[in-house]
């Protein structure tokens, strides 16, 4: 007996083609990822893509392998989210790529940069081999720890045309008592704290970067000062970057007006710098209508 009459509110997005793929990192680890193709995708064409990532830590490779079995449910209903790996991108002509970024090691973060860059490079090569993505038009985004990863990717690798980073942390000296899965305080592992901080490599970020942050973010690892210091560094260095703060919002925007404003800026940014559709007018129009104002930026 059918007990519910649920209706899919986004049938076109739900029906989007999704490709699960595997790739081998330089250390031999077999890693998994997924590509979701845009609504209305035409067979044979290559489309721009957004990579959206969130690294996760494991002491041993087999722990990651076990986690993959639990997380890759091919029959799960695709949830429409406002953040992270949102399928909203699929309605704008972009493919969405979500590769795993496993950080492996007893002290995970001692291998963080190497694992991050190697996994991203291998994922890009694997996606290129699928012949559905225009590898010359890819962007990278992330929220919270994913924002931290985004800034680190842009500072340590030349793969992407633009980035989006939200509610992130960029200077680990501002979280001296530990962060994420880091169990050591800064005085026990000062080199790792500095090595992982994209703030100290801001001079190497030549990719246009849009940052956003809740003005009242009370997450202890991602106070707004993190983004304010990062945009100050990027602006001082003459980089193409902008920061939007959303007043009264915490670690994740909640107000529908802010979400709509934020996505208008996201799409305008990537249309201009990734898709190359000349969306300057869109970005300028959005900047005059939204709920947030740029704290600082250089375009």
Task: Answer yes or no: are the C-beta atoms of 231 and 295 closer than 8 Å.
Answer: yes
Active-site residue flag, 110: no
Catalytic annotation, pick one of 251, 261, 271, 287: 251
Mark out the alpha helices in the chain (DSSP H runs): 11-14, 61-71, 112-128, 145-156, 190-195, 225-236, 256-270, 280-287
Axis-axis angle for helices 112-128, 145-156 (nearest 10): 80
The set of residues, in sequence order, having a beta carbon less than 8 Å from that of 44 and lying 6+ positions away, is none
Active-site residue flag, 251: yes
Say how far residue 112 (Cα) sits from the centre of its chain: 16
Contacts 24+ apart (CB under 8 A), 279-282: none
In total, the chain counts a number of residues equal to 299
- Tokens, residue 207: 């990719």
Catalytic annotation, pick one of 217, 227, 271, 287: 217
Euclidean distance between CA atoms 56 and 101, whole angstroms: 6
Euclidean distance between CA atoms 292 and 212, whole angstroms: 9
Per-position DSSP letters for 255-268, written without gaps between them: -HHHHHHHHHHHHH
Catalytic annotation, pick one of 32, 36, 140, 144: 144
Residues labelled as active-site residues: 144, 217, 251
């Amino acid at each position: 007996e059918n007990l519910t009459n649920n209706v899919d509110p986004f049938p076109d997005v739900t029906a989007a083609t999704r490709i699960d793929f595997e790739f081998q990192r330089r250390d031999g680890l077999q890693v998994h990822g997924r590509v979701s193709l845009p609504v209305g995708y035409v067979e044979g064409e290559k489309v721009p893509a957004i990579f959206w990532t969130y690294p996760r830590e494991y002491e041993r490779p087999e722990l990651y392998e076990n986690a993959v079995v639990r997380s890759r449910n091919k029959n799960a209903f695709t949830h429409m989210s406002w953040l992270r790996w949102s399928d909203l991108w699929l309605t704008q002509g972009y493919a969405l790529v979500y590769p795993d970024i496993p950080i492996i090691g007893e002290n995970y973060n001692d291998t963080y940069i190497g694992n991050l860059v190697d996994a991203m490079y291998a994922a890009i090569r694997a996606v290129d081999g699928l012949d559905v993505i225009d590898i010359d038009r890819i962007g990278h985004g992330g929220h919270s720890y994913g924002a931290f990863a985004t800034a680190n990717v842009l500072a340590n690798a030349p793969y992407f045309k633009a980035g989006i980073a939200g509610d992130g942390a960029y200077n680990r000296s501002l979280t001296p008592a530990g962060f994420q899965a880091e169990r050591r305080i800064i005085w026990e592992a000062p080199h790792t704290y500095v090595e992982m901080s994209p703030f100290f490599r801001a001079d190497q970020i030549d990719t246009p970067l849009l940052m956003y942050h809740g003005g009242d973010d009370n997450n202890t690892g991602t106070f707004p000062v993190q983004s304010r210091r990062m945009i100050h560094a990027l602006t001082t260095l003459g980089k193409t970057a902008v920061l939007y703060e959303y007043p009264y919002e915490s670690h994740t925007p909640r107000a529908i007006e802010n979400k709509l404003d934020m996505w208008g800026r996201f799409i305008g940014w990537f249309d201009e710098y990734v898709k190359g559709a000349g969306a300057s007018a869109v970005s300028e129009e959005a900047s005059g209508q939204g709920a947030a104002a740029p704290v600082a930026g250089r375009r």
